[in-house]
Every structure is written in structure tokens, then in C-alpha cells.
Amino acid sequence: MIKFKNIQELIALANEKKVAIYDIVEQYEAEVSQVPVDKIINTMKQNWKVMREAVESGIQNQDKSASGLVGGDAKKMNDYLGDNGKSYAGNMPLKVAAYALAVSEVNAVMGRIVACPTAGSCGILPAAVLAGAQHKNCDEDKIIHALFTASGIGMVIAQNASIAGAEGGCQAECGSAAGMAAAALVELAGGTPEQVGQAVALALKNLLGLVCDPVAGLVEVPCVKRNGFAAVHAMLAADMALAGIQSVIPVDEVIDAMYKIGLALPKSLRETSEEGLANTPTARAIEKNLYGKAK
């Protein structure tokens, strides 16, 4: 029976068996769910299809959400990307940001997405994996391997900390998604299990303390644009790990710190829309306009 309580044990298992992290995760899922590995892989392929379609439809979307707060920014980012020589960041960061905005906007207009790990952070992993796969010309098998690697990381974070904004702030949503995306990118690049762990630590620790403060209680502002930033963040964490840069604080200690920080965050900064950006004059005016009253 495959068992691991943390990421270090997951890495150790992969090294012991001389396989990749995704192999361990696939076997674990097959044992726990009592479903054959080939069916589990087919399910992940369906998930990937939904993720990819969300990017493709979202990148051209100009519809506004019911609130009118978001919609059309992914297309703006994508159009800006095509205007050579204008940007500071360069094509790759802009592409991954556009893709992340696209998926998040599809979510905001009630389209079909994969919550990975949550709806509020749904754009980060698909954006990073699609942009990374395009850049490295990866086939579907490599993409699926990367998604299973990300899944294993997300599972450990959920067990040892949290992936819920209401429990741990947005560090638990966008932070976890960034860690998962960084892990997936390292896998796409053929990195080692140790580099996967380093990428997760680097991505997570620089989003520690990120609060969940949705305007008017909607997963739109600042959530959609936050997905764009976090996807770029994940890509940089992956590149750092692949370059050989290591996190001084081990990945499992970073996850433990995230859990404790989440407990320390006041309720007002954990998806209640009581403080932070949700309590600015503009946010309260938006809330009043939508609901006829403000908190």
C-alpha cells in the first residue's frame, strides 16, 4: 500500500522506487479509489480537456460576468502579447497570465472549469501547464504526468494545511495552486522529484499571508487578476528550482507555516468580505449597487 504523509515522503518513495512523483500518485489513487490506473488516467485526460477548452474560450471572451466586474481582460492581455516590443515582461509571462485570466473569466461567467484546487484559483494550474507544454512542445502524456504530479502536491497541502480561502486565506487557494503549478512545470521540464519539492516551497513561501478579501463576496475581484499573477509566480518558482536554487526552509515546513498563518489570520480576512479590499469605499459602493446595501 502506497502511503505518504508529506512531500518529503512522496519524494522519498519516488526515489526509492526509481520512478517519478506522478507514478506514485497514480498508484496511490488506484489503491485508494480501487479504480484501475488506466481509468484514472482517462479521467485526468477529460479534466485536461475541460481545462484546455476553458483557456481557448476564455481567451476570446468579451462577455461580462453578471456583476459586471470582470470579463474581457484575458483578450486584452492576449492582444497586448501580440503587440511585439511593447511589453516589459516578454511573451511567456504574458501568455501564462492571459491563460490564467481566461480560465478565471470562464468561471465568472458560469462556464465549465476544473476547480484545481478551487474555483477561485482555477486558472493558475491550467495556464501554467498549457503555456509550459506549448513552450516545450510536450505531448499529452507528459501533460497528464504533470497534472498527476500537481495533484499529489495539492493532496498533501490539503491534508496538512488547507486549500480553502475561508479557512486559510487566499494563500490556501492561489498559493496552493501556484505550488501545484510550479510542480507541474518542473515535471514538464523533466526535473527531479527534489526539484519538484523545491519549486513548491519557493512558490508557496512567497505567497504566505495572502488574504482572501473578495469584493461583494464574489470570486471575481481581486481573484481573477490574482490568478494571472500567481501563474507567472509559479513559472518563476519552477525556473528557480530547475536552475538549482533551493528553498532554505524545507517544503513541508513551508506548508506547516502556511497552516499556522491561516489559523492566525482574523476571520475578517478569510473570505468573509469584511476587511481588506472588500472594505474599501469603492468595494462597498459596488456591494450596495449589487445588493441594495453594503455591510
Structural domain contains residue 2:
no
Give residue 235's pLDDT band: very low, low, confident or very high (50, 70, 90).
Answer: very high
Structural domain contains residue 30:
yes
The overall average pLDDT reported for the chain is: 97
Q: Is 270 helix (H, G, I), strand (E, B) or coil?
A: strand
**Which residues span the domain enclosing 242?**
7-291
Q: How far apart are CA 295 and CA 283, in angstroms?
A: 10
* Per-residue model confidence (pLDDT) at position 100: 98
Cell numbers placing 270: 478569510
* Per-residue model confidence (pLDDT) at position 86: 84
Q: Could you tell me the CATH number of the domain that includes residue 177? A: 1.10.4100
Stated pTM of the model: 0.97
Cβ count near 143 (within 10 Å): 22
pLDDT in tens, 182-210: 999 999 999 999 999 999 999 999 999 99
Element (H, E) at 87: none
Structural domain contains residue 1:
no
pLDDT in tens, 81-122: 877 778 999 999 999 999 999 999 999 999 999 999 999 999
* Per-residue model confidence (pLDDT) at position 140: 98
Structural domain contains residue 47:
yes
pLDDT in tens, 165-174: 999 999 999 9
* Per-residue model confidence (pLDDT) at position 294: 66
Q: How far apart are CA 198 and CA 270, in angstroms?
A: 27
Give residue 12's pLDDT band: very low, low, confident or very high (50, 70, 90).
Answer: very high
DSSP per-residue codes, 278-293? GGSHHHHHHHHHHHS-
Q: How far apart are CA 291 and CA 203, in angstroms?
A: 37
Structural domain contains residue 38:
yes
Strand pairing partners for 212? 270
Q: How far apart are CA 9 and CA 50, in angstroms?
A: 31
66 in Cβ contact with 58 (< 8 Å): no
- pLDDT above 80: residue 247: yes
From the number of C-beta atoms within 10 Å of its C-beta (0-12, 13-18, 19+), residue 290 rates as: middle
Structural domain contains residue 256:
yes
Structural domain contains residue 216:
yes
Q: Please tell me the total count of domains within the chain.
A: 1
